[in-house]
Structure 1
Amino acid sequence: MFQTSSRLRVLGRAVGTIGALSLAALGATPAAPAASAASASADDPSAGVVLGRTAPVDGVEPGGTVQVPTSFTNTGTEALRKVWLTYTLSHGLAHPDRAELPSNCTYSTIAVGDGEPDRTEVICEFDQAVRPGVVYAPGKQLAFPVRGSALYEVVAVKAEIAGYPYPGDNFTPEVPGTAPAVELAERPDATPAPAGSAENSRWDVADVPVTAVNTADFRVTGARLRGGVGDTVPLTVGFTDAGPGWVQRRDRADAVRIVLRMPSGTTVTRADPYCRRTGSGKYLCGVDFPWVEEGYERSYTFRLRIDKAVPGAQGSIGLTGASRPFDTDTGNDEAGIRLDVTGAAGSSGGSTASSGAGTALPLVGAAAAAFALGAGAVLVVRRRMNGR
């Protein structure tokens, strides 16, 4: 966990990460900037900068690049001598190679903490006069590589006039580009923001959603248990994001919810801490955070007491909650929890591992009714499991 000041700086600099709240909602403010390089005071109400509107970018391909057209207006009354543009990239986007990055730009990595995937920040410094009432844009827009894990991404763009936005302790050292420097160019064809319209005299931020053509395969693993009446047996079932995409929803819904129904004739004597009971033998489970990275795995462990033999007893595990349009393979969204009671008439017998880590079984009969559950909040435990 980072110190509060560092955390607020990240929030101030990286507003717009998918699922994150705005600065206003968090009650946070950016760390105090360095001395102003503008000809007007940063606290002067006559100073200000306003970003132009940028439409969401859809249909980008993993392995390709994405450009986020950026422009701004000096809404103050005096010319500025310097402007900085900062691009904070979510997990599925990367900084350009040094050979492609202009020499007046740098990149670094943000270690956000709390288990959230690292992000990338690119800062470009423009040391030139910026006239009031005129729209400016970089003469060449940056192209950001799209990683194989990209799905629902965001580029948080920030224009700043109050001084260089130095990284905090949770940033890696800045690396400058080696390509020719890029300059700002006037855009006479664009409509400038009205004078005095800046909400903040020092900076402005805007989120640009970027959607990649990609999928993420959410899957569950069931179990097969074996024991006699009166025995207490362990149960382990699991969830995996098999990728290739990572998922953090723009609707801020939980990354995934999982519903479990225990086999008839059993009693849960110990439940997984990420699960809560919603009915007789029924549990709703979540994951560590409101996002899941590609390759993420989570096991749920219970202990079940076998109270009586019920022929064909079978429970279930399945995905529930918000829709998953990114998951096109729905055949592994449900699996069974099979219980064989030894010594009972009709038992199939045979041999398994009692931990039940293995085969996914299809749902049958009333097991599908478990998927009507989903009300209430998932217990959130702020820690990683399985070494993640």
Structure 2
Amino acid sequence: MHRTSFHRRPSRRIAATLTSAAVGVVGLIGLASVPASADGSSAGLALAPLASVDGVKPGGSFQVPGTFANKGTTDLDKVYLSYTVSRGLAPRDLPSNCTRYEIGSFDENPSHSTAVCEFDQTVKAGSVYAPEKALKVDVLDHALYETLRMTVATQDSGGEDGTEETVRGTGPAVKLTELPSTTPVGDDDVNHPDWDSVSLPVTAANTADFQVPVTRLKGRVGDTVSLNAKFTNAGPGWVLSATGHPVAKVLIKMPAGTTVTEPSGACSKVAAGSYSCGLANYWIEEKGSVTYYFKLRIDKVVPGAEGSVRLGVEERPYDKNKKNDSAPILLDVDGAGGSTGGSGSTGGNGSTGGGSTGGSGSTSSTGNSGSSSGSTATGASGSSTTGGGMADTGSGDVLPLTGAAAAILAVGAGAVVVVRRRAARN
């Protein structure tokens, strides 16, 4: 499956030299494609491929060997091995010659961490090396679809913008061990001879339960009430989708006899009285939730009137419990002589539905939440589509949506900072 990539922001130490460079994906690719060896360096670093890790249990761990070669014609005085991991993974027992950087979520990237290990020893031309002790990586309880990206470089790639914590390793320092020259490694790249990187996909044996609760509304004919429809990832795993595709869609159909006077800014009308709502970004963390705020006017009594909140048809192989993927919106009209019953979250009336309610969580369990008119997100962040502001009657059906496979996370462009820092020095 396609994996998205982290696009690393420049280090604070070189940000001033990059103000004229593009900081988006195109800019990063452009920087990465420039040969980093303007001074005639004849390095030729190449990493061995890493095999995927499938079915590892949360609470378990795996090792990363980190084999690489210097295919150039010049000995190197020093190299750096860095390991960038998605938020479901964590380097363990770091040696004292390694530093871990914790990076908060930004733009379309969730929080992640990078461990950079410095090897201050000669790396001979034509030789193959690996750390004498492989890096151990823990699989955290919320891991699901993860990625580790490894980079070998002649310069330190740590300390990017967004770093919230820096921790020095406390274990015994690790050295490089020379391996037989016949040890298989990948090919070096003439466009960036002084760095190379490979990715390791990791799939944890975990699940994530997406769910929506029952919503109850109550009022009299003529009242304007607030509908607060909620979507939650009950975990235990967190989920990130492919770039350009939402991790989930929430489809809301209003009860008959009502008119939407203020739609949620995170939702788009797809039919009369029906809305398709997205998340604030392309991921949702474990225990993360999103609430969509609407204001409805009760126009008339319609016996048995009932709306619904349900998840879209996107593929979610990690979600084994489908029974809580939909729930009714129950409308009790005072004086109508009947009750729709049910229980769950309460919409209430006269509250702040339809307003702009953003928020931000931490970079650990709650994540970040982007500000979007008419919705509150916890454990998700970014932009969302905005529905219209005209009154809308609750009488239509939600249009079907084409399924989009829920995707998995990749950590990418980790070595671009190396190129940037190299360019800044020149």
Q: TM-score, normalised by structure 2?
A: 0.71
Residue in structure 1 matched with residue 9 of structure 2 by the alignment: 7
Report which structure shows greater RCO (CA 8 Å, sep ≥6): 2
Q: Which residue of 1 aligns with 2:85?
A: 89
- Say whether 1:156 aligns with 2:146: no
Q: Which residue of 2 aligns with 1:373?
A: 401
Candidates 47, 59, 62, aligned match of 1:63: 59
Q: 1:349 to 1:202 in 2, by over 3 A?
A: closer
Other-structure match for 1:17: none
Q: Secondary structure at the match of 1:221?
A: coil
Quick check: 1:230 aligned with 2:258? Answer: no
Of 171-180 and 289-298, more deviation after overlay is shown by 171-180
**Structure 2 counterpart of 1:78, one-letter code:** T
Aligned equivalents of 1:136, 1:349: Cα separation in 2 = 70
Matches for 1:1-388 after TM superposition, within 5 Å: 7-9=9-11, 26-27=28-29, 29=31, 43-44=39-40, 46-96=42-92, 100-114=93-107, 116-161=109-154, 163-168=155-160, 170-172=162-164, 174-188=166-180, 189-194=182-187, 197-250=189-242, 253-344=245-336, 347-348=338-339, 355=348, 370=398, 372-373=400-401
Q: For the structure 1 residues 351 and 229, does the alpha-carbon distance in structure 2 shift closer, same or farther, using more than 3 Å as the test?
A: farther
Output the CA distance in 2 between the equivalents of 1:310 and 1:149.
Answer: 44
Cα deviation per residue 1:152-181 (whole Å; 9 max; x = unaligned)? Answer: 1111211111x2334145324543323222
Residues 43, 159 of structure 1: CA spacing in aligned structure 2 closer, same or farther, 3 A cutoff?
farther
Unaligned runs of 5+ in 1: 13-20, 358-366, 377-388
Structure 2 Cα separation of the partners of residues 75 and 57 of structure 1: 28
Looking at structure 2, the residues matched to 210 and 317 of structure 1 have their Cα atoms a distance apart, in angstroms, of: 33
Distance 1:24 1:127, change over 3 A: farther
Is contact 1:216–1:327 with CA below 8 Å preserved after alignment?
Answer: yes
CA distance in 1, matches of 2:233, 2:342: 29
Q: CA RMSD in A?
A: 3.4
2: CA distance between counterparts of 1:355 and 1:84? Answer: 58
Alignment check: 8 A CA contact 1:88 1:120 kept: yes
Q: How many residues align?
A: 340
1:92–1:147 CA contact under 8 A, matched in 2: yes
After superposition, the Cα gap between the structure-2 partners of 1:350 and 1:113, relative to the gap in structure 1 and judged at 3 Å, is: closer
In the aligned structure 1, how far is the partner of 2:313 from the partner of 2:348? 27
Residue identity over aligned pairs, in percent, reads 43
User: How many angstroms apart in 1 are the aligned matches of 2:331 and 2:87?
Assistant: 41
Tell whether the 8 Å contact from 1:6 to 1:170 is kept in structure 2 after alignment: no
Q: Give yes or no for contact 2:331–2:340 (8 Å, CA) kept in 1.
A: no
**Residues 320 and 371 of structure 1 are in contact (CA less than 8 Å); yes or no, is this contact kept in structure 2?**
no
Amino acid at match of 2:9: R
- Give the Cα separation in 2 of the matches to 1:111 and 1:228: 47
Cα distance, 1:312 vs. partner? 0.8
Q: Is the 8 A contact 2:103 2:165 kept in 1?
A: no
Secondary structure of 2:91's counterpart equals coil
